A and B are shown apart, each in its own frame.
Chain A
Amino acid sequence: MPVSAAEFREWLEGRSLSPSPTALSALTGINRGTLNNQLRRGNVAESTVITIARATGMNVIDALSVFSPYQVIKSRPIEPSSAEILSQVHHADLMAELQFRTSKKHYPRELRKGIDLIPFPHDGSVRTWIDAIDPGDIRQQMSQETGMALTYIATQLTENKLNPPLAIAASRAGGGSFASGLVVTELITPAEGGWQIRAREDELLEVSDDVLVEAISARIHLLQRRVKQRKEAREYAEKMTELLG
């Protein structure tokens, strides 16, 4: 759901910015040909709007919400929910937290001192976000809203990505912040999406035991699937190289 070129030009003019690809390229570093193509086709990528907003010191959420597909962003709180934050904590960090809570003697928290949490996005982090906000039929709702096939959505999740329209549709179905989807899919930074600097670290410390264990259990299930898929892929590759190599 890129934004329309007409709206884009209007937005630029409203901010006294030249709509010429050369000027925009000089401002943002985006390739002039890319900008030219987007304007010619009448569809400007969301990332272009965001890059211009960043280059001119504009609030990214304010900039995006000017355009019709993204006007809903500010209709809900920008900040992420606890579940959304926890969904972006790697399973290894969740398990480390479990160990710290299990025994101060065997797993002192100091072991972790000076070591950051595994950054996100990480393998499967988009899927865990979807799972965290899923009211039960999130994929169907995403498919209905965007007109994209369920198989396409599944492929996107397997590749740990979602395009902006799907991210917005997921947020709408999940009832949470519209900005979170854009953060999780890396379109905007966590700070731009209203995440506190140490949101994940704080959430990990504050989360209750039952939620922590439930999150680990769900992640183990995903991990089992991934390990099985990797095993099958390796066996297939070994068979082919053994037979043809």
Chain B
Amino acid sequence: MNPLTVVPVSLMLILLGSLTFKRINTPVLGHQHALQGKASSIALSGIFLTLAYLLLLPPVYMGVESLLPFTNGTDLISKYFALVAVAFLGGHLSTAYGSQFARRWTVGAPGAAMLGIVATGLLGTLLATKAPNPSPQLLDYAAQPSVRLNTWLVLAYVAYIVFPLIKPAYKDSRRNPLKVGRIASGLIAAGFALSLMRAFTYPVELSTTGDATYLFMIVSYISTAFVVIGLALFAYARKNRAAQTELGSALSID
């Protein structure tokens, strides 16, 4: 177990798990709002992403592996969870930011087709990989072309989803009347931009060796953290009724 893999995954798991739990379990936000209200997709996205990271923890990974019919099926499930999380998030953010184009692109027919292609591609590349032993994120077999394609498929799907959302998120980071809202959307836009960058710089990543590879993975973790913290800031604003308190009467000068 390489600590360069385990430590960031664990940290991400703590961040994602705690924020998702907080979102679902905060009395002011309420279970109903979190799971059935307008922001339910965000909570679902958080749950799927947390599960995706949870499966990557070596003890969990090994445990699930023993239940599956083929080796490294856990990695496939983890990636499927991540894809679903990203799809939920993309669809929801496109509605929130009011971008019809992003909505069609992420969860319309093109989005569904892309999800299907990537999901099939992930299965195909996993089956094509010679991986006799369990290895979270297939890191022990990273040199194989099928694993490289497998990783790139996930990055490409994330880039596909976030691409049309960067502009609306950036716009909101400029025009949101709440400071906390501007920071939150700024973080989301920055996180998306980093994800897009990683997908495009993947060829550079392939030419690196040793521990340098992990640096690129950390970019994805940072981008995820930015988006998750941005969403948590919106939850914080909602919980504290920031819109009502900061944008109260326009008449008062006190």
A residues neighboring B (CB under 8 Å): 90, 92, 118, 122-123, 223, 226-227, 229-231, 233-234, 236-245
Contact = CB atoms under 8 A, between A and B. Distances in A.
B242 interface: yes
B253 A237 contact: no
A241 B250 contact: no
B181 A230 contact: no
Nearest to B249: A230
B45 to A, nearest CB: 11
Given A227-B251, A243-B39, A244-B184, A237 B231 contact: no
Interface stretch (B1-9, B50-58, B171-179, B213-221): B171-179
Contacts of A239: 96
B149 interface: no
Given A237-B247, A244-B234, A245-B39, A123 B253 contact: yes
A238 B234 CA distance: 10
A122 B231 contact: no
Contacts of A233: 177, 247
Interface residues of B, number: 32
A245 B233 CA distance: 7
Contacts of B251: 223, 227
A238 B42 contact: no
Contact of A118 (B39, B176, B249, B253): B253
A160 B234 CA distance: 29
Contact of A242 (B176, B178, B238): B238
Given A236-B176, A241-B234, A243-B96, A230 B247 contact: yes
25 contacts: A122-B253, A226-B250, A229-B250, A233-B177, A234-B177, A234-B243, A234-B248, A236-B176, A237-B176, A237-B237, A237-B242, A237-B246, A240-B96, A240-B176, A240-B181, A241-B238, A242-B37, A242-B38, A243-B38, A244-B39, A244-B231, A244-B235, A245-B39, A245-B234, A245-B239
Nearest to A119: B253
Contacts of B237: 237, 241, 245
A223 to B, nearest CB: 8
B177 A245 contact: no
B95 interface: yes
Nearest to A240: B181
Contacts of B235: 244-245
A227 B248 CA distance: 10
Given A236-B177, A237-B177, A237-B178, A242 B247 contact: no
Contact of A241 (B92, B93, B243): B243
B244 interface: yes
Nearest 5 interchain pairs by C-beta: A245-B238, A230-B250, A237-B243, A244-B234, A233-B177
Contacts of A245: 29, 39, 234-239
Nearest to B184: A244
Given A227-B251, A230-B249, 16 more contacts: A123-B253, A229-B250, A234-B244, A236-B176, A237-B246, A238-B244, A240-B96, A240-B181, A241-B242, A241-B243, A243-B39, A243-B92, A243-B96, A244-B231, A245-B237, A245-B238
A240 B172 contact: yes
Interface string B137-171: 00000000000000000000000000000000000
Nearest to A228: B250
Residue from the set A92, A239, A244 with the largest chain B CB neighbour count within 10 Å: A244
B88 to A, nearest CB: 13
Contacts of B184: 244
A22 B216 CA distance: 48
A90 B39 CA distance: 42
Contacts of B244: 234, 238
